[in-house]
Structure 1
């Protein structure tokens, strides 16, 4: 939800969501009438079935395509420069870190079992046109890795937002947007707070849901 709300999809962009899960991001993009087309790529067959069902139930079969594929091998599914915008919430924990969830779906989403941030950058470098955008949400504690990977795969960081649960807690997440090629100017936006101190959603968070 955060990623779909923060990215700002442009009307004519061809969009692909890597590791789409149950297709929440493609559904939000399509519901808002954003982008020219949306593809969700998912490796796990059970989630592919759920994603396709969600697309059908919500009436977006003509605007959203769900592809069962491993985005680490995406070159066999799409020619270079197929998309204008790549979105992803990549797995954020190293295999040797943290407690791994016993439910495989959740474990794959959180740990680097089936893909990593580097795999996302590598796939995006193939999928995007020159000047195309890659946008993702990632843990603040690992943000240095994003700048390293951007440079490694030919991207320049363009927009950076620190995300806090509330104003009294340290940042847990970041929004990171980069462009394939292009200049080096980086926009660091104001911090994004999800909750007020009383536990309710902030105006900025409500605006994402109501957009």
Structure 2
């Protein structure tokens, strides 16, 4: 590994190659990567600039995990490939340029060939907000034409029996997500609600489902993101322990998380 790669890993996720304008990844991608179970071969559906898959590799730096990212937007696919090389993961990260909607049945890989799949699907309904002129923003944020269903179906097709799918999604649409997961044979097994602050409604939910799994859902303690208000807003120690890479947002080192 080169000195540049060592430096890039130390700064991560700062310094990731992203479009200067348009869609940029958010903290939900880092939460998803921290939540995902272990696996030797993991599919990242709608990989964007590669942040979820690359965070997984950094979390499991000594493992044999490999990531295959699937991204439809050329500018984001280019970023993902450059980021993998910059971080020294060129041999463990492969990028397929294509649409999630083309799964199942695509010839990129065989059905059931992955231990797990991660997905941060578009969640805004068309007409729910201002539509960007930039294609990468539209495809990353707006879920028209059954896009969520396509993500769930693609994950179910790609993972082996007993394999897992992990997803981050708006909490207010949890019932829709659970119906889609169970409808394709992905049985929800683990769930974490993500709250902006204590005593505030959850905004996000993290769900792990198993292909052809038996019923039985564990609802884990909720994650609370912030304490304080205004200029005194800080990330909680709980969420920083859950996902240490969030520390880049407030100047904390990973050693600060043990107190």
Write out per-residue CA displacement over residues 66-97 of structure 1, whole angstroms, 9 at most, x where no aligned residue: 11111111322111111011000000012232
| Cα distance in 1, alignment partners of residues 176 and 184 from structure 2 | 12
Is the counterpart of residue 149 in structure 1 residue 149 in structure 2? no
2:89 to 51, 60, 66: 60
Q: In structure 1, what is the equivalent of residue 49 of structure 2?
A: 22
Name 2:68's counterpart in structure 1: 39
Is 1:96 matched up with 2:131?
Answer: no
Give unpaired runs (5+ residues) of structure 2: 1-29, 246-253, 255-259
State whether structure 2 residue 238 is matched by structure 1 residue 204: yes
Q: 1:3 Cα deviation (Å)?
A: 0.2
Aligned 1:94-133 pairs, distance under 5 A? 94-113=125-144, 116-133=147-164
Shift of 1:114: 7.8
Q: Tell me, which stretches of 5 or more residues in structure 1 are unaligned?
A: none
The reply on whether 1:84 has 2:111 as its aligned counterpart is no
Contact (CA 8 Å) 2:101, 2:147: kept in 1 or not?
no
Tell me the distance in 1 between the aligned counterparts of 2:35 and 2:196. 15
The secondary structure found in structure 2 opposite 1:101 is coil
In the TM superposition, what is the alpha-carbon distance from 1:104 to its structure 2 partner? 2.6
TM-score scaled by structure 1? 0.92
Question: Could you tell me how far apart the structure 2 residues matched to 1:39 and 1:114 are?
Answer: 25
- How many angstroms apart in 2 are the aligned matches of 1:180 and 1:164? 28
Ranges of 4+ aligned residues in structure 1 off by more than 4 Å: none
Cα displacement (A) at 1:27? 1.1
Q: Judge conservation of contact 1:91–1:110 (CA < 8 Å) in 2.
A: yes
Note if contact 2:70-2:96 (Cα within 8 Å) is conserved in structure 1. Answer: yes
Question: Are 1:13 and 2:40 counterparts?
Answer: yes
Residue 209 of structure 1: CA displacement? Answer: 1.8
Asked if 2 retains the 8 angstrom alpha-carbon contact of 1:29 and 1:35, the reply is no
Q: Classify 1:35/1:120 alpha carbon distance in 2 versus 1 (closer, same or farther; 3 Å).
A: farther
- Larger C-alpha radius of gyration, 1 or 2? 2
Q: Distance in 2 between matches of 1:139 and 1:89?
A: 10
- CA displacement, residues 170-200 of structure 1 (integer Å, 9 cap, x when unaligned): 1111001111112101000111111113411
The equivalent residue for 1:73 is: 102
Aligned Cα root-mean-square deviation (Å): 1.7
Kept after mapping to 2: 8 A contact 1:129/1:180: yes
Q: Distance in 2 between matches of 1:127 and 1:170?
A: 33
Q: CA separation in 2, counterparts of 1:104 and 1:115?
A: 18
* Contact residue 16 and residue 85 of structure 1 kept, 8 A: yes
TM-score (norm 2): 0.76
**SS of equivalent residue, structure 1 residue 80:** coil
